[in-house]
């Protein structure tokens, strides 16, 4: 297998003689075939090819293949956004009466999906604290559990996932272990290497890397045997909407094929060809960028840790960080560009600090080339009281910082002058 940085540049697309060297944007909903039988074979999944962009498109395909190769999975299914990737992956295995067991420390949108929206459709979510013991989390799993869900690095509390702990529970019960790897990317960690079965992405973050294209992706690890358990009945019985296909009989690609054939067909939350093109282009420099994000973040974290106006700072690169040891095991090549810290003086001083920044911008986005900050207490979480915030681990002086790929000295200088002014 090629190295990850090579796959970032070369993966997913290999032109034939005379074809464009760069993945072209195939801006077409439909595809031409000479014979009706050719199309029929595609519909029956007997042949591989394109017939309608809701199900497959060559530009999107190149992106899916590249990411699947980077993750070591068997196939990828691109989606319109990270949220739709999570939704499709969940609905592919869970329905009314089922439950999912998820870490409480996950992306806010996923938390809302699991805690508010999915219950309306009869899917219950049982949350655990990432620091809970194996026994405590194990107790949440029952015969209706379809997924154990967590994030490799969760923000803004910057929790590093204990893969072994969750993977043991998942293996014991033969439940799918699904991991959102958005904030570290395969360059820093490949969840499939640590027992995950499905990897979820918001490609809107580091994969695109330039904050230009929304997107998501589901990677099927191909490492879950649906025939080994009765937990996933739908995989064991014929799908009447697909000529009686029994998905478990497909072996390694069961999850992915069902997700495309059923979920994409019926829900249609596809990634557009143009967004796939932009994301693919961004991914060519992913390995280089991640290196710089990590290097910069480490320097910024050290600076903040030693600044008298900073009350606390969370980044796994710091030796006294709660997740430093876990990060050595799962993120040995860098811990990503995301960190949180608190300035002394509470919410007010946090706002003052952010407004004093000159280069680093206040935006809701994270994980792109430009450094940015957000103060959840006065923006995304402003409807919550200080007590509510504390309960979900967000202090009112918490500033979320996404360290970009500018020169580290300039990032630190900006932070320094802003701290000097408060």
Ligand X SMILES: *Cc1c(COP(=O)(O)O)cnc(C)c1O
State the nearest-atom distance from the C-beta of 363 to ligand X, in Å. 12
- Which residues have C-beta within 8 Å of that of residue 101, sequence separation ≥ 6? 125, 126, 127, 128, 137, 140, 141, 145, 147, 148, 149, 175
State the nearest-atom distance from the C-beta of 402 to ligand X, in Å. 10
Nearer residue to ligand X within complex by CB, 203 or 347: 203
Q: Are 147 and 178 in contact (CB under 8 A)?
A: yes
Nearer residue to ligand X within complex by CB, 139 or 370: 370
Nearer residue to ligand X within complex by CB, 215 or 254: 215
- Which residues have C-beta within 8 Å of that of residue 281, sequence separation ≥ 6? none
Put residue 32 in one of left, alpha, beta given phi > 0 → left and psi -120 to 50 → alpha.
Answer: beta
254 three-class SS: helix
Q: Are 81 and 108 in contact (CB under 8 A)?
A: no
Nearer residue to ligand X within complex by CB, 405 or 419: 405
Q: Report the sign of the C-alpha dihedral through residues 166, 84, 394, 328, in that order.
A: positive
State the nearest-atom distance from the C-beta of 80 to ligand X, in Å. 8
Nearer residue to ligand X within complex by CB, 85 or 418: 85
Q: CB-side exposure of 296: number of CA atoms within 13 Å?
A: 27
Alpha helices in 44-95 (DSSP H): 58-71, 82-91
The rounded distance, in Å, linking the Cα atoms of 207 and 45 is 30
- What distance lies between CA 96 and its chain's CA centroid? 25
Nearer residue to ligand X within complex by CB, 56 or 214: 214
State the nearest-atom distance from the C-beta of 279 to ligand X, in Å. 11
Nearer residue to ligand X within complex by CB, 49 or 109: 109
State the nearest-atom distance from the C-beta of 16 to ligand X, in Å. 33
State the nearest-atom distance from the C-beta of 84 to ligand X, in Å. 7
Nearer residue to ligand X within complex by CB, 176 or 338: 338
Binding footprint of ligand X on the chain (CB under 6 A) = 81-83, 107, 109-110, 151, 180, 182-183, 202, 204-205, 214, 216
Q: CB-side exposure of 151: number of CA atoms within 13 Å?
A: 25
State the nearest-atom distance from the C-beta of 106 to ligand X, in Å. 7
By C-alpha distance, which of 278, 405, 250, 248 is closest to 23?
Answer: 278
State the nearest-atom distance from the C-beta of 201 to ligand X, in Å. 8
Which residue lies nearest ligand X, judged by its C-beta? 82
Please state the φ and ψ torsions of residue 145, each to the nearest 5 degrees: -75, 130
């Amino acid at each position: 297998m090629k190295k990850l940085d090579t796959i970032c540049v070369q993966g997913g697309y290999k032109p034939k003689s005379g074809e464009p060297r760069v993945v072209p944007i195939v801006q077409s909903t439909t595809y031409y075939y000479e014979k009706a039988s050719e199309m029929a074979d595609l519909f029956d999944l007997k042949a591989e090819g394109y017939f309608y962009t809701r199900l497959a498109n060559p530009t999107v395909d190149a992106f899916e293949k590249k990411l699947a190769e980077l993750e070591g999975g068997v196939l990828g299914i691109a989606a319109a956004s990270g949220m739709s990737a999570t939704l499709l992956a969940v609905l592919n295995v869970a329905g009314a009466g089922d439950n999912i067991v998820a870490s409480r420390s996950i992306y806010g949108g996923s938390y809302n999906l699991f805690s508010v929206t999915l219950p309306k459709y009869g899917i219950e979510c049982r949350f655990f604290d990432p620091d809970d013991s194996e026994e405590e989390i194990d107790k949440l799993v029952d015969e209706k559990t379809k997924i154990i869900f967590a994030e490799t690095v969760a923000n803004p509390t910057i929790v590093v996932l204990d893969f072994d702990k969750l993977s043991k529970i998942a293996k014991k019960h033969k439940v799918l272990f699904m991991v959102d790897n958005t904030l570290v990317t395969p360059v820093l960690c490949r969840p499939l290497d640590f027992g995950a079965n499905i990897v979820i992405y918001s490609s809107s973050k580091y994969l695109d890397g330039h904050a230009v294209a929304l997107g998501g992706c589901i990677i099927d690890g191909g490492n879950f045997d649906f025939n080994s358990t009765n937990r996933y009945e739908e995989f064991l019985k014929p799908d009447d909407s697909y000529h009686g296909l029994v998905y478990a009989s497909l072996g390694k690609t069961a999850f992915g094929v069902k997700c495309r054939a059923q979920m994409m067909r019926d829900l249609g939350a596809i990634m557009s060809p143009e967004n796939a093109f932009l994301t693919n282009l961004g991914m060519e420099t992913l390995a280089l960028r991640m290196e710089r994000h990590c290097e910069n973040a480490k320097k910024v974290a050290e600076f903040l840790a030693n600044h008298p106006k900073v009350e606390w700072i969370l980044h796994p690169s710091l030796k006294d960080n709660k997740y430093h040891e876990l990060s050595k095991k799962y993120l040995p090549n860098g811990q990503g560009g995301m960190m949180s810290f608190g300035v002394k003086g509470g919410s007010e001083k946090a706002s003052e600090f952010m407004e004093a920044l000159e280069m680093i911008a206040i935006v809701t986005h994270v994980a792109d080339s430009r450094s940015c900050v957000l103060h959840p207490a006065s923006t995304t979480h402003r409807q919550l009281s200080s007590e509510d915030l504390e309960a979900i681990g967000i202090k009112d002086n918490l500033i979320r910082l996404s360290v970009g790929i500018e020169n580290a000295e300039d990032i630190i200088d900006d932070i320094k002058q802003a701290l000097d002014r408060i």
